[in-house]
């Protein structure tokens, strides 16, 4: 428990200037505690095309997962989906996390993505983390603006 409290504290301290983002859940089996984008101090965030962002999600899984992979996409008002590449270190699946992911233990995942180039201003940014059986561990949507 001590370790996880420390991790929690570290995140809160290092991201003191960031704010927790409002989100819509799209089928998470885990409990999401908070989501933040380190560079964002407003909600909705105004994402600048080409800028490198660090997104963080803190959650507690309810199940055991052997592998994890990440999928990010952007949906515009015409409901066109565009994949957004996400950078993480490759360790378990495509995320730098210890596997298997154990239920009941707080996890914090972070990833980098580049502010997409898009012709519309209002977009929904969706981040899904799925397991080896394609079950959603977390799925959330953030309403953002693109500059
Ligand atoms: C974004 O920043 C992270 C952390 O500084 C870095 O590891 C990553 O390579 C950068 N990604 C891109 C696409 O520039």
> What is the whole-number distance in angstroms between the Cα of residue 112 and the centre of ligand 1?
6
Fold of 2-146: Immunoglobulin-like (2.60.40)
- The 10s digit of each residue's pLDDT in 86-130 is 887 667 877 777 889 999 999 999 999 999 887 788 999 999 999
* Predicted structure pTM score: 0.84
The domain segmentation of the chain, as residue ranges, is 2-146
Tokens of 39: 């560079």
Residue whose CA lies nearest to ligand 1 atom number 6:
112
Residues 86/113, Cβ–Cβ less than 8 Å: yes
- The 10s digit of each residue's pLDDT in 19-32 is 999 999 999 999 99
Q: What are phi and psi of 31, to 5 degrees?
A: -95, 120
The pLDDT assigned to 81 comes to 87
DSSP 13: H
Instruction: Determine the Cα–Cα distance for residues 29 and 136; give it in Å rounded to an integer.
Output: 6
Pocket of ligand 1 (CB under 6 A): 52, 87, 112, 114
Q: Which residue has the higher pLDDT, 81 or 1?
A: 81
């Amino acid at each position: 428990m001590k370790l996880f409290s420390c991790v929690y504290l570290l995140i809160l301290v290092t991201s003191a200037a960031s704010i927790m983002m409002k989100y819509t859940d799209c089928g998470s089996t885990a409990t999401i505690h908070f989501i933040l984008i380190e560079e964002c101090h407003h909600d909705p965030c105004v994402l600048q095309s080409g800028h490198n962002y660090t997104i963080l999600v803190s959650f507690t899984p309810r199940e055991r997962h052997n592998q994890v992979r990440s999928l990010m996409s952007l949906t515009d008002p015409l409901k066109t989906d565009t994949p957004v590449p996400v950078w993480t270190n490759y360790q378990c699946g495509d995320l730098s996390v210890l596997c298997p992911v154990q239920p009941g233990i707080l996890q914090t995942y972070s990833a980098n993505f580049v502010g997409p180039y898009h012709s519309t201003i209002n977009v929904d940014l969706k981040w899904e983390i799925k397991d080896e059986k394609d079950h959603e561990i977390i799925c959330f949507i953030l309403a953002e603006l693109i500059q």
